[in-house]
Structure 1
Amino acid sequence: MIRYELTNNVARITLDTPETGNKFTYQLMLDFIAALTAAGKSGAAVLILQAIGNDFSLGRDHGEKLENVSRRDNLKLILKANSLLRQFPGVSVALIQGRGMAFASGLALQSDISIGADNAVLGFNEIRHGLAPLVVVTYLADYVGPKVAKELIYTGRDVTAEEAVRIGLLNRIVPAGDLASEGERLVSELTTFPPGALRLIHNFYEDLKNINDEDPALVGVDRLVTWIEAGKP
């Protein structure tokens, strides 16, 4: 269901249930969280999220019936996965082909770099399944602004690849047949850079929101000097 690989300082998580549109069942979410946890502890500088099949993922499996898991515990897995993705101590890259809906759109959005195939379709369509995506409400406006966020959440409409780039859900798009090779090209580029520099950038981004009493730029200078003088670990 989830394939995890670690090779040459690159962690790869591959969704591999194309027969279901790579929907995230409860077990798939657990496996995904385990893979994200492993990636975060691996020392890898780059994390790739990718999928087998025509679609990246149709999101959570809303039709799944769980007997021994509460609805609250099931939904809280979204928070865990989102947090682990954002906290990955390097550069996270999502490669999105076909549909990447709801939770999958969140993964594309919260990855550091997201490349879409020209046939990619994104959207937070939970409302169309009779659900209110309150978790999405907590972060979407930070990326696309409040007006766009409200429209996407209230309508649940599909977003084409071109519009996704324009509003900030994706970084760029490539022809569908070039998505895998463009991902490999990006990985090759990123792995030429010092891993410690990538991790330092990530950590500073994460800490910016908590720097209140100091000039963030001065904090950045201090961290950069400390890192250089420590031998660029």
Structure 2
Amino acid sequence: MDEDVLISEDGPVLEFVLNNTGAGNTITTAMFNAMLETMNEQLQTPSARLLRIRANGSVFCLGRERSATGLIETHVEVERLVSFKRLLRKLPLITIAEVHGDAAGFGFGLAILCDYAIVSNSASLYFPEMQFGLPPSAIMTYLAEYIPPRLAFHLVLTGDTISPETAERIGLISACVAPDHVHLRAEAISERILKLDEQAVRDCKSFFQHSLQNNFEQNARLAVETLTIDSLRLQRRDSLTER
């Protein structure tokens, strides 16, 4: 198992702990693969009821690693990113993100995609991708499902930080709490869900996801194409700059 993400299962609770603390818990290829493998297993044969995602260190997650070069590697990297987000939505487990610190780019998107996002009121939330010249197509496949498109466009285009209080008010996250209450609130939600009928919970989640799935799948395919092209453009630009 990749030590940059600690995966454990305790009864009905599966847990991912981001542990790449030296790099702001940036998600690497190995971390993606480890989490994807576990989620695929749970999709085929669910043995847990909850997936809780938290992080060690001072931040939650500051994005994802971009290490691919060339068309094929870049396409594979983008497919992996979109597959992760697609699988997280399809998972029959209820997903809970415990965001104790800053969440940027993929990290912010990861929290939004979870069924519950419990966020510390001291965290900074933002999408910085456009500052590097890379439109975050994968994020745009779903962001406007949660907030008005005009606001979603502004957040992505400018990279402006949104406060947890505002994010809660507009429905982008589930709860904004004091830093030492993030884990406690996640525990309370977990206990409440585990008291409900297991199949009824899965049916409830399935219905909500099905109602969103058609647009998401169509947008996901477009995101793969767009993000691959934009990533290659940046690689070429950087290559010319270095000459």
Deviation at 1:207?
A: 2.4
Deviation at 1:68?
A: 11
* Cα separation, 2, equivalents of 1:143 and 1:111: 12
Q: Is the 8 A contact 2:46 2:92 kept in 1?
A: no
Give the match's secondary structure for 1:95.
strand
Give the match's secondary structure for 1:70.
helix
The residue identity in structure 1 corresponding to 2:35 is: F
- Residue 155 of structure 1 is matched in structure 2 by 158
User: How many residues of Structure 1 are paired with residues of Structure 2 in the alignment?
Assistant: 210
* Cα separation, 2, equivalents of 1:189 and 1:97: 21
Deviations 1:130-168, CA, capped at 9 Å, x for gaps: 211112222211111111111011101111111211222
Give the match's secondary structure for 1:182.
helix
Judged with a 3 Å threshold, the aligned counterparts in structure 2 of structure 1 residues 37 and 210 are, in CA distance, closer, same or farther, namely closer
Give the number of the structure whose residues are more often helix, by fraction: 2
Give the alignment of 1:1-233 within 5 angstroms. 1-40=4-43, 41-62=45-66, 64=67, 70-209=73-212
Structure 1 alignment gaps of length 5 or more: 212-233
The residue identity in structure 1 corresponding to 2:63 is: G
Q: Is the 8 A contact 1:45 1:198 kept in 2?
A: no
* Cα separation, 1, equivalents of 2:174 and 2:18: 21
The percentage of aligned residue pairs carrying the same residue is: 25
* Cα separation, 2, equivalents of 1:108 and 1:169: 9
Deviations 1:54-101, CA, capped at 9 Å, x for gaps: 111001124x46689611111111111101110111311111121111
Deviation at 1:39?
A: 3.6
Normalization by structure 1: what TM-score?
0.83
The residue identity in structure 2 corresponding to 1:56 is: F
Judged with a 3 Å threshold, the aligned counterparts in structure 2 of structure 1 residues 98 and 92 are, in CA distance, closer, same or farther, namely same
Runs of 4+ in 1 over 4 A off after TM superposition: 65-69
* Cα separation, 2, equivalents of 1:150 and 1:67: 29
* Cα separation, 1, equivalents of 2:212 and 2:69: 38
Judged with a 3 Å threshold, the aligned counterparts in structure 2 of structure 1 residues 138 and 112 are, in CA distance, closer, same or farther, namely same
RMSD, aligned CA = 2.0
Normalization by structure 2: what TM-score?
0.80
* Cα separation, 2, equivalents of 1:187 and 1:68: 42
Give the match's secondary structure for 2:27.
coil
Judged with a 3 Å threshold, the aligned counterparts in structure 2 of structure 1 residues 188 and 126 are, in CA distance, closer, same or farther, namely same
Judged with a 3 Å threshold, the aligned counterparts in structure 2 of structure 1 residues 81 and 181 are, in CA distance, closer, same or farther, namely same
Judged with a 3 Å threshold, the aligned counterparts in structure 2 of structure 1 residues 193 and 112 are, in CA distance, closer, same or farther, namely same
The residue identity in structure 2 corresponding to 1:58 is: L
